[in-house]
Structure 1
Amino acid sequence: MKLSGGEKLARVIFLGTAGSTFSGRNMPPSLLVDGGVLLDCPAACPYVLATMGRLDEVRIILLSHLHPDHSLGVVELLWHLWIRGSGKRVEVVGPRGTRRFFERMLEVLHPEKFETILSHGVFREIGPGDTVGNAKAFEALHTVEALAYRLTVSDRSLCYSGDTSPSEKLVEGFAGCDLLVHEATYPPGMEDAALRDGHSTPVHAATIALRAGARRLALVHLPYARLGDVDEEYLRAARAIFKNTFIPKPFEEVTL
């Protein structure tokens, strides 16, 4: 599949879009990007990738932060790689404390073998402004240290907010992106509550997309477990500000 200029189209698969916990068959946000890049890794993510026949594609995991709905799948993946015995290792990138976080969990789970299990991950801790390959990290505003990411793939740009409230730094970091994937944990009308909790509403996300000059906006981290189907309400609020907004379905594939 080619563009007119001969460049390959970059593909993004939305593995999950639910906020804070799973809802039905929908897990918390995780995106698989061409080149084996996985953005966030909730608990069910390795199993979901395995059922799709795509688990072995993953070579690097970019974690936005260490809350369980974004990170626990790393433990499952490292355990799986250890049990399988293939010798494969995966790079795990995240904010400060990432390696120690997984080390402590695995030490509790298997005191005798935790170092061997942990060795199936290559850990790298980064901060705002750091780059890893074609990804650059930006500061996100959450209740713990958190990162947003900008990836450049086949001359296209994908920006992922992770969990965050709006900020000028993110407007700058997301400037001109082809696809902005932004969280919208709180419903429209609850902007103040969202800010207090380090989150965003669809109004916040759409405003960021508009100010950043993004081409498209995808809303994720939606509160399905608490509020049920909010898609229509969220789209109406976001599109009043930024018309080119959509809510991806689990396993939906998008080209940049």
Structure 2
Amino acid sequence: MVCLEVIFLGTSAAMPTPDRSLSSVVINRNGTLLVFDAGEGMQYNFIRAKLGFNKKTTLFITHMHSDHILGILGFLQTLSLQGRNLPINIFGPSPIREFIMENMKLLNIKLTFELHVHTISGSQGVALKDKDYEILYCKSEHGPGICSFAFCLVEKERPGKFDIKKVKALGIPEGELYGLLQKGKNIIFENQTIYSKDIVGKPRSGRKVGISGDTRPSNNLCNFFRDCDLLVFESTFSSKEIDKARESYHSTAIESATLAKEASVRKLCLTHFSSRYKDLTDLLVEARSILLNTELAFDLKLLKIDYDDL
């Protein structure tokens, strides 16, 4: 079974607090690390989370605001100082390449690994394709002139359940024939055709995890996050500050929960909290009044995402 975990490295908004760092979240899929945003100093919690310095790692940047990108250079340098040799790919809005390359030049940062920076554009698309999953992106709404994106990890379908009782009842020996049936191949056993569809159930969906970045809620994002097993959505303000949320193109807890409910999300986790809130209870109460299966993120929080058919 493929392990899928989400680890929060930073959960504060524009300003860090004594117990909350700036924005960064990691999806760990069986040791492959998918890092979304890199707020200043995020490598500290990356080290504390013991995620590993030389694993397959890709960075995705939602937008070019300082609290989401100033940790990139420090993170890369930390990996280099630890002797990393595997390449890293970074995906983000068009200024991302210039920002990284110019600052590496000014600071004379020399890496021990290859770095590949890719720009993404348009309203929606595929940032990364893997044999088992894709990372999709969708344009979000974070203000005029600001290019911002939300992301989704979408796993590919899994084979249906293998009916072990049925194959044993047929007397089929374990080994190669089992493998062929599981791969959808029909077999001949004792002069009888055994059809894979009679042994293996219908394909089962993979898991889906959404990352909002900074944004106002929108119909596009609601459709983009449809049927997420976990949605990580910003909740900068409570409903009392709805005017501030609209003015700064952020979301309130109620708005985040409403979008998640309309999108049939299984679980919502709120993050990116304004430093004005010393106690987040009110935000959680607001969100749970809409979607009960809502949690608050905190630095180093880990969430495991199980298959919905277990």
Q: Once structures 1 and 2 are overlaid, which stretch shifts more, 165-174 or 151-160?
A: 151-160
How does 1:60-99 map onto structure 2 within 5 Å?
A: 60-84=58-82, 86-99=84-97
Tell me the CA shift for residue 120 of structure 1: 4.2
Tell me the CA shift for residue 217 of structure 1: 0.7
State, as a whole percentage, how many aligned pairs show the same letter: 26
Q: Once structures 1 and 2 are overlaid, which stretch shifts more, 98-107 or 66-75?
A: 98-107
Tell me the CA shift for residue 52 of structure 1: 3.2
Letter in 1 for 2:125: D
Gaps of 5+ in 1: 1-6
CA contact (8 A) 1:65 1:146 kept: yes
Q: 1:206 to 1:118 in 2, by over 3 A?
A: farther
How does 1:1-256 map onto structure 2 within 5 Å?
A: 7-33=1-27, 34=29, 35-56=32-53, 57=55, 59-84=57-82, 86-110=84-108, 116-117=110-111, 120-127=114-121, 128-131=123-126, 132-133=128-129, 134-143=134-143, 144-153=146-155, 155-223=206-274, 225-229=275-279, 231-256=280-305
Partner of 1:3: none
Letter in 1 for 2:297: P
TM-score of the aligned structures, taking structure 1 as reference length: 0.87
| Aligned partner of residue 208 in structure 1, secondary structure | helix
| Aligned partner of residue 124 in structure 2, secondary structure | coil
Tell me the CA shift for residue 181 of structure 1: 0.6
Partner of 2:165: none
State how far apart, in whole Å, the 1-side matches of 2:217 and 2:52 are. 33
Tell me the CA shift for residue 177 of structure 1: 0.7
Gaps of 5+ in 2: 157-205, 306-310
| Aligned partner of residue 226 in structure 1, secondary structure | coil
| Aligned partner of residue 189 in structure 1, secondary structure | helix
| Greater helix fraction, Structure 1 or Structure 2 | 1
Tell me the CA shift for residue 12 of structure 1: 1.1
CA contact (8 A) 2:85 2:113 kept: no
Count of residue correspondences: 244
Deviations 1:84-107 (A, max 9, x none): 554443111111111012223233
State how far apart, in whole Å, the 2-side matches of 1:157 and 1:58 are. 20
**Who wins on radius of gyration, i.e. which is larger?**
2
Q: 1:81 to 1:173 in 2, by over 3 A?
A: same
Q: 1:171 to 1:86 in 2, by over 3 A?
A: closer
Q: 1:89 to 1:227 in 2, by over 3 A?
A: same
TM-score of the aligned structures, taking structure 2 as reference length: 0.73
Q: Once structures 1 and 2 are overlaid, which stretch shifts more, 51-60 or 160-169?
A: 51-60
Tell me the CA shift for residue 253 of structure 1: 1.3
Tell me the CA shift for residue 139 of structure 1: 0.7
| Aligned partner of residue 76 in structure 2, secondary structure | helix
State how far apart, in whole Å, the 1-side matches of 2:47 and 2:267 are. 29
Q: 1:48 to 1:120 in 2, by over 3 A?
A: farther
State how far apart, in whole Å, the 2-side matches of 1:201 and 1:58 are. 35
Tell me the CA shift for residue 83 of structure 1: 4.4
Letter in 2 for 1:209: A
CA contact (8 A) 2:152 2:208 kept: yes
Partner of 2:168: none
Deviations 1:177-234 (A, max 9, x none): 11111001122122232122111010110111011111111100011x23322x2100
CA contact (8 A) 1:78 1:121 kept: no
State how far apart, in whole Å, the 2-side matches of 1:137 and 1:20 are. 23
State how far apart, in whole Å, the 2-side matches of 1:107 and 1:146 are. 26
State how far apart, in whole Å, the 1-side matches of 2:63 and 2:241 are. 23
